[in-house]
């Protein structure tokens, strides 16, 4: 993409309304604009990041055997009365009356609706296990929405729901999601740590939240260093045939708690001093096993092999997709701007033409631009007439993993500069070498 | 995907509430379920088709130079008061009050919001032309929602908005979308014909609707046969450098009108008798040029090269993405069920094991299943224990383009049966030949 044609309204000033660094950087980098309180429009660069994150979430859900569906945003209140949650949700639920004065709502979550879909489509033990997920916008009418997309009112969430014949089956589904979440966040360059959690308004018996490390995070966390150093992507996983319980156990047997659940004494006793980690973090995922809490009132029963009718055991598993955009920035930025992990970056490379009026520079840049695209490398090409300083600042701000800087002086000796955004390391090399390095 | 694990709740009975064939078939094929009046949940197979259609729309928008954004579903009423449309929209607009009693609405379209985004991000002639589109759920509170996803209340739409310095620029954008739409629908196996249209509540000066041919369509259409026979995908198009006006002219110079605009006398006079086509059709796209209708009241001005401040000229361009799922079925089905064009099919191949208890059949099927997947061919593998008749009927109903039928008798002579769903043509051939035919 040529920057002269790209809709990228970056800001030089820091917007006064933004309290946290990810919100400031997302506004300054032209990724989002507020449409109204807690509701955002995603501009082209923000949208690309959102889609990249969504795709990683999707791939890991599919890999774990879940099937994608899509439920609507607007729901009838009927099912929520059956489950007993219509009143529970209070003012956070956006309630709507349609033109026929029917009570509707903008879904804050989907346990009721998916249970209804399942009960109408499943009859027997042959129809379980199933995991059905969707990636859909939700609405929670927060009193004071803040922190940009980190606590918006309209937000994108992946929510998965599992249906099993019994508790043992449901725990297998829970474990699949436990491992899938570790893989999902690791692929985004995040260190995510599962922590035992309260079940809150979803209800249920067993629950973990997944907290990513970020110095600017909302929550203080306490955990064993092994959890941070463990490399989940280092070994493959066969969701169908592996017993995942040992993997889950290895993550849950050591101390890992948020400030709400923290007990200093237990921490000191259980974790050797050199293994004690005190950091800050952000919740980006939450998984629940809640048994028959919804299947019983909503009548989601299947027949067993013996012909008995039993309510299915269920769990639900959420990832805050839009929240992750902010979360990744909180975990990965410096004073100059965002530092995108390659897996979610809007473009892999920023190509800077230092002197557009110079035909050698323009020629070299045009060729690099074409060759990078031919090699399947996404590139944002700064072909504007602005000053070198403005170009450097903007490229650092938007945080693409690699920068190629092309100037008249370097070209005379046949080189361009390749800079890695994460650590600022620079290298002079020929355009072809830069190309083969990035296309690898 | 193995059918024994797939959430595909097909129905044997025809649901009483469904009036049109696409609605009946989508319910019977387990693609969607009604959540409430005019609001649908997309089950795994329906969701796949929806995503395939969305992806074709996206690719053709990108190819034409448009940039993807994502605006929220919930909007504030403020901008709609500025444009003067807040009252105009009447009861079709879903109006909402949030917990602070602020007037919000579920967006039925996005001219106001995108104009606001553009005006805050653009300053001068350097910031045009731009085309920004999103693919987002909309809500129109129809009095009587019907025809399934063809006229739902919550529906998925691609809407693109163009911003240009003057009318000539806006017409270039209009022409790009005109051609992009022809390509988009052609890629879905549809014959789409642009017809001059009323501009309706969007307003403006120039407008075409795109009608696809379907015998069960809602509208009668009258046109010149050349429009149906023209192959838009036969020649490439360079959106940046080609003059598209001659292409557009070739489509607009001959007679093509819906029943609302039809004049029998003109039709008879202008179109030779052997070229007169009377068919039925379904509207799936609508494009508008409306000049400064929104940029003036909302203040979307840019400075020209002479330093003058002028309101941008705009157009908007919609495709009914969820509607197309129904539209394609209306255009492509028979008594046995759906006939998916390959480009949008949920799976390319249905693999039927006629006798799961036979180890030769199971072995041959498992191997075909594995090899097809390795070759990147999507396949739904019917590994259930149901009767051959039930398997054939279901596979025809869900309409995958190809079926491979594996039975004990054929295997003895080393063959399987390959059936093309569209015309029912069958062929006996070796499993390897079937594989190489489908992987081509």
pLDDT of residue B198: 74
pLDDT of residue A301: 98
> Which chain B residues contact residue A134 at CB under 8 A?
47
- b/e per residue, A98-131, with b = 16+ CB within 10 A? beeeeebbbbbbbbbbbbbbbbebbeebebbbbb
Q: Would you place residue B231 in the very low, low, confident or very high pLDDT band (cuts 50, 70, 90)?
A: confident
The mean per-residue pLDDT over the stretch B2-24 comes to 93
Per the rule left: phi > 0, alpha: psi between -120 and 50, beta: everything else, A38 is left
For residue B393, give every residue at least 6 positions away whose Cβ sits within 8 Å of its Cβ, in sequence order, or none.
Answer: B336
Sign of CA dihedral B35, B77, B73, A111: negative
CB contact under 8 A, B69 and A42: yes
Q: CA nearest A62 in B: which residue?
A: B1
**Of B342, B245, B306, B18, whose CA–CA distance to B150 is shortest?**
B18
Among A3, A8, A28, A36, pick the best mutation site for testing chain B contact (most B Cβ within 10 A).
Answer: A36
Q: CA nearest A126 in B: which residue?
A: B4
Question: Per the structure block, which two tokens stand in for A192?
Answer: 């995510």
Is the peptide bond preceding residue A322 cis, with omega within 30 degrees of 0? no
Q: Identify the bridge partners of residue A234 per DSSP, sorted by sequence position.
A: none
Count how many residues are written for chain A: 440
Q: Which of B7, B94, B104 minimises the CB distance to A121?
A: B7
What's the gap in Å between the CA of B72 and the closest CA on chain A?
6
Does residue B212 have a pLDDT over 90?
A: yes
Element (H, E) at B301: strand B301-303
CB contact under 8 A, B72 and A35: yes
Q: Break chain B down into helix, strand, coil percent, rounded to 5.
A: 40, 30, 35
What's the gap in Å between the CA of B47 and the closest CA on chain A?
6
pLDDT of residue B201: 63
Question: Per the structure block, which two tokens stand in for B54?
Answer: 């969305």
Residue B307 CB coordination number (10 Å): 7
- CA pair distance B380, B364, nearest whole angstrom: 15
Pairing of strands B402-406, A256-258: unpaired
Q: Are A434 and A368 in contact (CB under 8 A)?
A: yes
CB contact under 8 A, B94 and A98: yes
- CA pair distance A303, A46, nearest whole angstrom: 47
The mean per-residue pLDDT over the stretch B364-391 comes to 97
> Which chain A residues contact residue B43 at CB under 8 A?
69, 117, 121
CB contact under 8 A, B72 and A106: no
pLDDT of residue A16: 85
- CA pair distance B373, B70, nearest whole angstrom: 33
How would you class A433 by CB atoms within 10 Å of its CB: exposed for 0-12, middle for 13-18, buried for 19 or more?
Answer: middle
Q: Are B415 and B404 in contact (CB under 8 A)?
A: no
Q: Are B106 and B171 in contact (CB under 8 A)?
A: no
Does residue A202 have a pLDDT over 70?
A: no
**Of B191, B303, B194, B308, whose CA–CA distance to B248 is shortest?**
B194
Does residue A426 have a pLDDT over 80?
A: yes
For residue B28, give every residue at least 6 positions away whose Cβ sits within 8 Å of its Cβ, in sequence order, or none.
Answer: B10, B11, B12, B14, B15, B337, B397
3-state secondary structure string, chain A? CEHHHCCCCCCCCCCCCCCCHHHHHHHHCCCEEEEECCEEEECHHHHHHHHHHHHHHHHHHHHCCCEECECCCEEECHHHHHHCHHHHCHHHCEEEECCCCCEEEECCCCHHHHHHHHHHHCCEHHHCCEEEEEEEEEECCCCCCECHHHECCEEEEEEEEEEECCHHHHHHHHHHHHHHHHHHHHHCCCCEEEEECCCHHHCCCEEEEEEEECCCCCEEEEEEHHHHHCCHHHCCCCCCCCCCHHHHHHHHCCCEEECCCCCHHHHHHHCCHHHEEEEEEEEEEEEEEEECCCHHHHCCEEECCCCCEEECEEEEEEEEHHHHHHHHHHHCEECCEECCCCCCCCCCEEEEECCCCCHHHHHHHHHHHHHHHHCCCCEEEECCCCCHHHHHHHHHHHCCCEEEEECHHHHHCCCEEEEECCCCCEEEECHHHHHHHHHC
- Tell me the residue ranges of DSSP E strands in B112-259: 130-139, 154-164, 192-196, 206-213, 219-224, 256-258
> Which chain B residues contact residue A74 at CB under 8 A?
36, 39, 94, 106, 139, 153-154
- What count of Cα atoms within 13 Å lies in the side-chain half-sphere of residue A136? 26
CB contact under 8 A, B74 and A139: yes
Q: Would you place residue B268 in the very low, low, confident or very high pLDDT band (cuts 50, 70, 90)?
A: very high
pLDDT of residue B236: 87
Q: Would you place residue B203 in the very low, low, confident or very high pLDDT band (cuts 50, 70, 90)?
A: low
pLDDT of residue A218: 87
Q: Are A94 and B98 in contact (CB under 8 A)?
A: yes
Element (H, E) at B405: strand B402-406
The mean per-residue pLDDT over the stretch A180-197 comes to 95
> Which chain A residues contact residue B6 at CB under 8 A?
67
pLDDT of residue B216: 85
Q: In what order do the strands lie in the sheet with A74-76?
A: A74-76, A103-106, A94-97
CB contact under 8 A, B121 and A35: no
- CA pair distance A328, A26, nearest whole angstrom: 11
CB contact under 8 A, B68 and A47: yes
The mean per-residue pLDDT over the stretch A318-323 comes to 98
What's the gap in Å between the CA of B22 and the closest CA on chain A?
19
**Of A133, A136, A98, whose CA–CA distance to A118 is shortest?**
A133
Q: Is the ipTM of this complex over 0.85?
A: yes
pLDDT of residue A40: 98
- b/e per residue, B109-130, with b = 16+ CB within 10 A? bbbbbbbbbbbebbeebebbbb
Q: CA nearest B76 in A: which residue?
A: A36
Q: Which of A39, A67, A98 minimises the CB distance to B74?
A: A39
Among B50, B62, B74, B113, pick the best mutation site for testing chain A contact (most A Cβ within 10 A).
Answer: B74
The mean per-residue pLDDT over the stretch B51-57 comes to 98
CB contact under 8 A, B154 and A73: yes
Q: Would you place residue A15 in the very low, low, confident or very high pLDDT band (cuts 50, 70, 90)?
A: confident
Element (H, E) at B111: helix B111-121
pLDDT of residue B136: 98
How would you class A35 by CB atoms within 10 Å of its CB: exposed for 0-12, middle for 13-18, buried for 19 or more?
Answer: buried
User: In a 3-state reduction of DSSP, which class is residue B242?
Assistant: coil
The mean per-residue pLDDT over the stretch A69-81 comes to 97
pLDDT of residue A201: 63
CB contact under 8 A, A70 and B76: no
The mean per-residue pLDDT over the stretch A175-200 comes to 92
Q: What is the DSSP letter of B100?
A: T
CB contact under 8 A, A69 and B47: yes
- Show the CA angle centred on residue B333, arms to residues B332 and B338, nearest 5°: 105
Q: Are A405 and A322 in contact (CB under 8 A)?
A: no
Helices B21-28 and B321-331 cross at an angle (nearest 10°) of 100
- CA pair distance B16, A109, nearest whole angstrom: 30
- CA pair distance A129, A4, nearest whole angstrom: 52
What average pLDDT is seen over chain B?
95
Q: Phi and psi of B120, rounded to 5°?
A: -85, -15
CA-based radius of gyration for chain A:
24
The mean per-residue pLDDT over the stretch B268-294 comes to 96
Question: Per the structure block, which two tokens stand in for B229?
Answer: 């026979």
Please state the pTM of the whole predicted model: 0.97
pLDDT of residue A17: 84
CB contact under 8 A, B104 and A36: yes
Question: Per the structure block, which two tokens stand in for A121?
Answer: 């489509």
pLDDT of residue A199: 66
Q: In what order do the strands lie in the sheet with A402-406?
A: A379-382, A349-353, A402-406, A416-420, A426-429
**Of B266, B277, B146, B272, whose CA–CA distance to B222 is shortest?**
B277
Q: What percent of chain A has pLDDT over 90?
A: 91
Size of interface A-B (CB pairs under 8 A): 149
Question: Per the structure block, which two tokens stand in for B112?
Answer: 């106001």
- What count of Cα atoms within 13 Å lies in the side-chain half-sphere of residue B251? 24
Pairing of strands B256-258, B301-303: unpaired
What's the gap in Å between the CA of B161 and the closest CA on chain A?
13
Q: In chain A, what is the straight-line distance between the N-terminal and C-terminal CA atoms, in Å?
A: 20
What's the gap in Å between the CA of B11 and the closest CA on chain A?
9
Residue B268 CB coordination number (10 Å): 12
pLDDT digits over B341-353, tens only? 999 999 999 999 9
> Which chain A residues contact residue B81 at CB under 8 A?
none
Does residue B48 have a pLDDT over 90?
A: yes
Does residue B204 have a pLDDT over 70?
A: no
Q: CA nearest A142 in B: which residue?
A: B99
Q: What is the DSSP letter of B312?
A: P
pLDDT of residue B274: 96
Among B45, B76, B99, B302, pick the best mutation site for testing chain A contact (most A Cβ within 10 A).
Answer: B99
Among B2, B34, B35, B58, pick the best mutation site for testing chain A contact (most A Cβ within 10 A).
Answer: B35
Does residue B199 have a pLDDT over 80?
A: no
Pairing of strands A276-291, B219-224: unpaired
pLDDT of residue A204: 66
Q: What is the DSSP letter of B356?
A: T
- b/e per residue, A193-213, with b = 16+ CB within 10 A? bbbebeeeebbbebbbbbbbb
Helices A431-439 and A359-374 cross at an angle (nearest 10°) of 20
User: In a 3-state reduction of DSSP, which class is residue B313?
Assistant: strand
What's the gap in Å between the CA of B236 and the closest CA on chain A?
19
Q: Are A367 and A381 in contact (CB under 8 A)?
A: no
CB contact under 8 A, B91 and A104: no
Sign of CA dihedral A405, A406, A410, A416: positive
């Amino acid at each position: 993409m040529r920057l002269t044609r790209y809709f990228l309204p970056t800001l030089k000033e820091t917007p006064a309304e933004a309290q946290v660094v990810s919100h400031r950087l997302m506004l300054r980098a032209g990724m989002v604009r507020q449409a109204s309180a807690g509701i955002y429009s995603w501009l082209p660069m923000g949208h690309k990041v959102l889609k990249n994150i969504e795709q990683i979430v999707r791939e890991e859900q599919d890999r774990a055997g879940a099937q994608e569906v899509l439920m609507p945003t607007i729901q009838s209140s009927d099912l929520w009365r059956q489950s007993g949650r219509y009143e529970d949700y209070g003012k956070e639920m956006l309630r709507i009356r349609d033109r026929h004065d029917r009570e509707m709502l903008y879904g804050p979550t989907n346990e009721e609706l998916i249970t209804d879909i399942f009960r109408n489509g499943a009859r027997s033990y042959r129809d379980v296990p199933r995991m059905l997920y969707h990636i859909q916008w939700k609405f929670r009418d927060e009193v004071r929405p803040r922190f940009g997309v980190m606590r918006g009112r309209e937000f994108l969430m992946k929510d998965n729901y599992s249906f099993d014949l019994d508790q043992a089956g449901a725990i297998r589904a829970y474990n699949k999601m436990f491992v899938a979440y570790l893989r999902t966040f690791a692929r985004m360059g995040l260190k995510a740590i599962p922590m035992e959690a309260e079940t809150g308004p979803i209800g249920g018996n067993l629950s973990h939240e997944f907290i990513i490390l970020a110095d600017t995070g909302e929550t203080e966390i306490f955990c064993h260093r092994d959890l941070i150093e463990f490399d989940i992507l280092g070994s493959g996983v066969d969701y169908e045939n592996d017993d995942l319980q040992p993997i889950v156990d290895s993550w849950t047997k050591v101390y890992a708690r948020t400030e709400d659940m923290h007990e200093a004494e237990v921490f000191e006793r259980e974790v050797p001093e050199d293994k004690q980690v005190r950091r800050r973090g952000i919740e980006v995922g939450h998984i629940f096993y809640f048994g028959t809490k919804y299947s019983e009132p909503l009548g989601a029963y299947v027949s067993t092999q013996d012909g008995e009718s039993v309510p299915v055991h269920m769990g639900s598993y959420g990832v805050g997709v839009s929240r992750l955009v902010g979360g990744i920035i909180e975990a990965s930025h410096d004073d100059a701007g965002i530092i995108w992990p390659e897996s979610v970056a809007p473009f892999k490379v920023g190509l800077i033409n230092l002197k557009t009026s110079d035909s050698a520079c323009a020629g070299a840049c045009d060729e690099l631009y074409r060759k990078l695209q031919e090699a399947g490398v996404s590139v944002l090409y700064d072909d504007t007439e602005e000053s070198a300083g403005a170009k450097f600042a903007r490229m650092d701000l938007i945080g693409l993993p690699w920068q190629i800087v092309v100037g008249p002086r370097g070209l005379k000796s046949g080189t361009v500069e390749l800079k890695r955004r994460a650590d600022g390391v620079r290298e002079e090399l020929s355009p072809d070498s830069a190309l083969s390095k990035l296309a690898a």
